[in-house]
Amino acid sequence: MKTYNISCGGHTLSFGMRTRIMGILNVTPDSFSDGGSFFTTDAAVAHGEKLVEDGADIIDVGGESTRPFSDAVSVEEEARRVVPVIERLSKRISIPISIDTTKTPVAKQAIEAGASIINDIGALRSDNNMAAVAAKYGVPVVLMHMKGNPKTMQVSPVYDDLINEIKKFLENAINMAEKNGISRSKIIIDPGIGFGKTVEHNLLLIKHLHEFTSLDAPILIGPSRKSFIRNILFDKPARDIKADIPALETGTQAAVAAAVLHGANIVRVHDVAGTYKTIKIVDAIKNARI
């Protein structure tokens, strides 16, 4: 089994025998699953601490919704939302904090406030200066595949060869990161569940996730409460179903289990406590030896 060790700030994350959990902390009024729940700094910090208690290995702080058809927010507004949370949270927890952003100024301010990972859904393409910031601060980066942008990505996405097209995209993103001074040992890849994919695309990505191991980087996957789960479980449109109902969490845990068995090293989720239990069992099955 391939193992990886990634240093981030004063932390080292090892991947291989144990799947790591990235807990989602949305400091937004409009995220699809928990928008507004943790919009104040106090509520966000308290929830971040709860995620750590529940078993998170990374806390992923985001200040801009990336749900389908969402609008962008300004640099100033995004920074205003996340920086105070990261500043306070980094002093209270003993695990790495990642900043979920595509904007260089936000990433820079977040790192200076205590974040030690950049989770960039734009894979360094949305802002030409992002790679330079990651290289300067020596922080790991998550490079995610997305077809289009959040405003357009779910408008009839089409692929000629789903797995190979996404693999090629991620291979090019890795090469670009390295050319810009980011060490290969600091790169994490994410095939982008729900970002420019149909229900069938998402299912195939999870089923064939092991094919991305050839890119020789830890694999992150984020199926939590995504619309493909709602579309499978219910007959009515996904937008008409609340994202925090128990059935969706059951569906999420099924997707998490399948992803881990097919090669995921990190799972990005809302329900850390439930995922911790799921992974405990799935990792035991995966690591069983005769």
Catalytic pick among 268, 277, 286, 289: 268
Concerning whether 136 is annotated as a catalytic residue, the answer is no
Report how far apart, in Å, the C-alpha atoms of 131 and of each of 14, 168, 223, 224 are: 23, 19, 26, 27
Concerning whether 268 is annotated as a catalytic residue, the answer is yes
Catalytic pick among 226, 230, 277, 286: 226
Residues with catalytic function:
226, 268
